[in-house]
Amino acid sequence: MTDTVFLAPDHDHGRCSADALAHAERICRERAQRLTPIRRGVLEALLASHKPLGAYDIIERTAPRGTRPAPITVYRALDFLMENGLVHRIESRNAFVACVGEHSAGEIVVFLICERCSEVGEAPSKAVGETIRNASRAAGFSPKSPVIEISGICAHCQSTA
């Protein structure tokens, strides 16, 4: 795992993916959950890059490894992975991204989405979370999915422009 919001383009992606997969295995083991072959395949497809993928993109990426999974099977795997904090849904893109950051359950996550390279940075923010929780409480509101998505240009793309 890493504290860096946007990983360098030349980072050791093999190590990054292996660490995230090991984290997923540990979480499943601790919670007495099963990381079935289809769940693992969906997670591995998402870990292949730091770009969000739609369900049908995931199907395409998992198909070469065997039979093409049905969409409902992929959606069920995504639901499991999201429930266990291993995958996040990027609402604005109707897509999913593997969680490679360390943050606690219920912590607000700010997704920084690069408009040029499509990479997604995951930036946990306790201060933003407290502000949102306080504002929600004051309004008598209970947030369902406390996620913030911000589009812009990442530092790597800015430096190459």
| For the chain, domain boundaries | 13-98, 109-160
Look at the chain and count its residues. Answer: 161
What CATH topology corresponds to 13-98?
Arc Repressor Mutant, subunit A (1.10.10)
What CATH topology corresponds to 109-160?
Dna Ligase; domain 1 (3.30.1490)
Whole-number CA gyration radius for the chain:
16
Chain centroid to CA 59 = 17
Question: How many other CB atoms are found less than 10 A from the CB of residue 137?
Answer: 11
Q: What's the confidence (pLDDT) of residue 133? A: 85
Q: What's the confidence (pLDDT) of residue 65? A: 65
Q: What's the confidence (pLDDT) of residue 106? A: 62
Euclidean distance between CA atoms 76 and 81, whole angstroms: 9
In 52-125, which residue ranges form alpha helices assigned H by DSSP?
A: 55-62, 71-83
Is residue 78's pLDDT more than 70?
Answer: yes
Q: Report pLDDT digits (tens) over 138-149.
A: 999 987 767 789
Collapsing DSSP to helix, strand or coil, 80 comes out as: helix
**Confidence band of 128 (pLDDT split at 50, 70, 90):** confident
Task: Provide the residue type at 25 as one letter.
Answer: E
65 against 78, higher pLDDT: 78
Quick one: what percent of the chain has pLDDT higher than 70?
91
Strands 87-90 and 95-98, sheet pairing? antiparallel
Q: What's the confidence (pLDDT) of residue 1? A: 40
Q: Report pLDDT digits (tens) over 33-69.
A: 999 999 999 999 999 988 899 999 999 998 876 788 8
